[in-house]
Amino acid sequence: MSSRTGSPKLRSAAWRISLWATLAFACGTLLVFLFLHRFVASDIQRRSDAWLSGEVEVLGDVAERTPKDALYDRVVGEVAELAEKEVPNKDLSESSSNDSVFFLQTGADASLKLWVGAGRGEPYLQAIQAARIFPDQPSDLHVRGFAIPFRVASIRIDDGSSIYLGLSERDESRVLRNLSIRFFLFWLLLVLFGFAIVFFTTRRMLTHVREITEAASRIGHSDLTARVPTTKRNDEVSHLALTLNRMLDRIESSMHQLHTITDSLAHDLRSPLTAIRGKLEISLPAFPQAEKAEPIVSAIEELDRLTDFLNKSLDVAEAKADALRLNRVPVDLDELLKIMIDLYEPSMSEKGLQVSLHSAGPLIVEADAALLHRMIANLFDNELKHSPSARSTSLRLRVEGQSALFVLEDDGPGFDPEVLPHLFERRVKGRESNGHGLGLAFVDAVARAHRGTVTASNREEGGARITVTIPLNSL
């Protein structure tokens, strides 16, 4: 079955629905069949009882009218044998059928007077005497040596003797057994067929639901302009698809609006910043002496800090709304970390901080290279600024599942426990921090934008640990 291709959850949903429906269906049809079976069984019983009563009456008649001479036994015996040939429900293929019927006549003293049937008549007589059979009322008789009971009808004739006609229920139960087997097979077929229909209908519907889910999750993480697949059918599932698409329209429009706002805010602030910076710069050479240039120089530095703050604020704002725009390319994290260590190593060793990288070689992720650069730089900046007494920093990079796992650990004092739960929020900074409190919020923002995670904790043996995961590919 192709259900192996489906996601396990939906497959189990299809299974569950089909199983319950089939169970209900099976119970219902089983009841109907049981009722039919009972009806047929009682009908067969009625027919064989009617035959027995009719035949035993005829035989009684014959026995009464036949002169009680030497030929009596032969005449009655012949008639009884003839009657045996008209047994109802008889299986024609069975040749030795004469053991299914017996004829027995007892005298007035309840002794065996006449016996027509297979074997000897005594066991039958004993059984009849033990069972106490009433005339005109066929009843079951268990004879020793026979697993299947006989149906026996009796009649008392005027000379005080009784006539018993017995019919084995073997043929009747065979017919009923055949009927049961046919009913069961037919019922099984019906149930399987019903299950197949329900299962395939449900699965088809759920496949559509799954397609919608998959498309929606793809849209959620990459392309907001795409839409979930819709069908021409006018059912609940296609309504779901339409509703989702309408919701996506609204999300896309508000996302677009957010981009427009941040873009125009950036533009409106950056243009004057550019003009101011430019003017400050061209006014610089006019002051050759350092003291006079000082205010301009520090104004430029302030401007640069302001610009950086503006950029990071907008990035964090967009990322918090899951609206950071990514330009995914293959990035080798191993190489990136080596370059970053190369860049930061001198600053770190100035502070007496040893840095080491443990990596198993190239590790490619589909990510926005510029954002990753800035994210790693932020982590390193954070390490430089906030670990005053750390002696060593270790970086570990490896693949875990479908993600790249990057762990940064140091042996410094660790994070302030008060700050730790809010570390990745905007404007949260340690007591000794002199930054604008956006660094780790930005790291979190970039990881989120890539559908990754950042967690910070204090190591048991002392020191801080920051763990970043980035999925290997965007799907």
Q: Which residue in 117, 166, 439, 463 binds other proteins (CB under 8 A)?
A: 439
The site map against other proteins for 220-259 (x = CB under 8 A) is ----------------------------------------
Q: What angle do CA 26, 32, 37 make, to 5 degrees?
A: 120
What residues does 152 pair with on adjacent strands? Answer: 139, 166
Using alpha carbons only, how large is the chain's radius of gyration in Å? 48
**CA-CA distance, 193 to 318, in Å (whole number)?**
55
Could you tell me if 302 and 280 are in contact, meaning their C-beta atoms sit under 8 angstroms apart? no
Q: How many C-beta atoms lie closer than 10 Å to residue 401's C-beta?
A: 9
Q: Which residue in 11, 37, 373, 451 binds other proteins (CB under 8 A)?
A: 373
Could you tell me if 381 and 425 are in contact, meaning their C-beta atoms sit under 8 angstroms apart? no
The site map against other proteins for 262-281 (x = CB under 8 A) is xx--xx--xxxxxxxxxx-x
Q: Which is nearer to other proteins, 176 or 273 (CB)?
A: 273
Q: Which is nearer to other proteins, 83 or 464 (CB)?
A: 464
432 scored as a contact of other proteins (CB under 8 A): no
Listing DSSP states for 98-151 in one string gives TTSEEEEEE-TTS-EEEEESSS-SHHHHHHHHHH---TT--EEEPPTT-SSPEE
Q: Which is nearer to other proteins, 94 or 263 (CB)?
A: 263
Q: How far is the CB of 219 from other proteins (least distance, A)?
A: 19
Choose the stretch contacting other proteins; rule: CB under 8 A; options: 22-30, 203-211, 369-377, 455-463. Answer: 369-377
Could you tell me if 298 and 428 are in contact, meaning their C-beta atoms sit under 8 angstroms apart? no
| Total binding residues toward other proteins, as defined by CB under 8 A | 52
Could you tell me if 106 and 112 are in contact, meaning their C-beta atoms sit under 8 angstroms apart? yes
Choose the stretch contacting other proteins; rule: CB under 8 A; options: 96-104, 179-187, 198-206, 308-316. Answer: 308-316
**CA-CA distance, 466 to 449, in Å (whole number)?**
18
Tell me the two tokens of residue 424: 């990745």
**β-strands 392-400, 354-359 pairing:** parallel
- Report helix, strand and coil shares of the chain as percent, to nearest 5: 55, 15, 30
Q: Which is nearer to other proteins, 198 or 323 (CB)?
A: 323
End-to-end CA distance of the chain: 27
Q: Which residue in 105, 154, 202, 378 binds other proteins (CB under 8 A)?
A: 378
Choose the stretch contacting other proteins; rule: CB under 8 A; options: 183-191, 376-384, 413-421, 447-455. Answer: 376-384
Q: Which is nearer to other proteins, 49 or 322 (CB)?
A: 322
Choose the stretch contacting other proteins; rule: CB under 8 A; options: 13-21, 151-159, 301-309, 447-455. Answer: 301-309
Q: How far is the CB of 363 from other proteins (least distance, A)?
A: 18
Q: Which residue in 40, 58, 191, 314 binds other proteins (CB under 8 A)?
A: 314
Q: Which residue has the tokens 């002392």?
A: 462
316-335: contacts with other proteins (CB under 8 A)? 318, 325, 327
Is the C-alpha dihedral spanning 60, 66, 70, 76 positive or negative? Answer: negative
For other proteins, the binding residues (CB under 8 A) are 262-263, 266-267, 270-279, 281-282, 284, 293, 296-301, 303-304, 307-308, 311, 314-315, 318, 325, 327, 339, 342-344, 346-347, 350, 370, 373-374, 377-378, 380-381, 384-385, 435, 439
